[in-house]
């Protein structure tokens, strides 16, 4: 149960890391577009790609008009901010890629490996238990019980009889010693 919970948790973290990566990439793209706007330019659109040379001249003209409207000081300050935003966007991409590279694959691999190992150990234990139960059942009810029964019918009772006699002999010897000791104690008590 704990392995299953760990497996689900690590896969959940890996999935959230993938989501983080996608959102981070989108954030990086948004940061780049903001930097482009701070450079007083607009991002290219799909229709802009049809005639790049014409679109580039139009955008340069538009940027010059914006620079003139804002003034040189504000435009240069926005240019510095655009450079910072470009560095931030690059750092975001590196951070997202680093998280994805270290978290997603390694966590999923670890979770799957641990789950497989636990499952293999469980199956092995179940097989061993089942095998032991079968061997015990055979021992108690199978060949060994049949072998003992066949020996008894063939005169295999001799071993049991010998053991029984030895126990009986030792038992009677012990009882006779105990009886003799009690007699001695009685004689000693009477003589006093």
Mean pLDDT of 159-177: 54
pTM over 0.75: no
Mean pLDDT of 145-174: 54
pLDDT for position 159: 53
Lowest mean pLDDT among 5-19, 44-58, 97-111, 131-145: 44-58
pLDDT for position 143: 58
Taken in order 61, 63, 66, 67, the sign of the CA dihedral is negative
pLDDT for position 175: 56
Among candidates 191, 23, 41, which has minimal Cα distance to 100?
A: 23
pLDDT for position 62: 85
**What DSSP designation does 47 have?**
G
């Amino acid at each position: 149960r704990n392995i299953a919970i760990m497996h689900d948790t690590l896969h959940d973290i890996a999935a959230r890391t993938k989501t983080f990566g996608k959102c981070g990439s989108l954030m990086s793209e948004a940061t780049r577009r903001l930097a482009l706007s701070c450079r007083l330019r607009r991002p290219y659109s799909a229709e802009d790609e049809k005639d790049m040379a014409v679109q580039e001249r139009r955008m340069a003209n538009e940027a010059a008009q914006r620079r003139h409207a804002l003034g040189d000081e504000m435009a240069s300050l926005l240019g510095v901010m655009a450079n910072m935003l470009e560095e931030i966007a690059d750092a975001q991409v590196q951070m997202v890629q680093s998280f994805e590279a270290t978290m997603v694959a390694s966590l999923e691999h670890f979770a799957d490996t641990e789950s497989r190992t636990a499952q293999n150990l469980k199956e092995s234990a179940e097989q061993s238990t089942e095998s032991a139960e079968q061997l015990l059942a055979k021992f108690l009810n199978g060949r060994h019980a049949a072998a003992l029964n066949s020996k008894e019918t063939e005169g295999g009772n001799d071993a049991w009889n010998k053991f029984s006699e030895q126990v009986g002999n030792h038992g009677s010897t012990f009882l006779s010693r105990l009886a003799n000791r009690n007699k001695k104690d009685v004689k000693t008590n009477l003589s006093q």
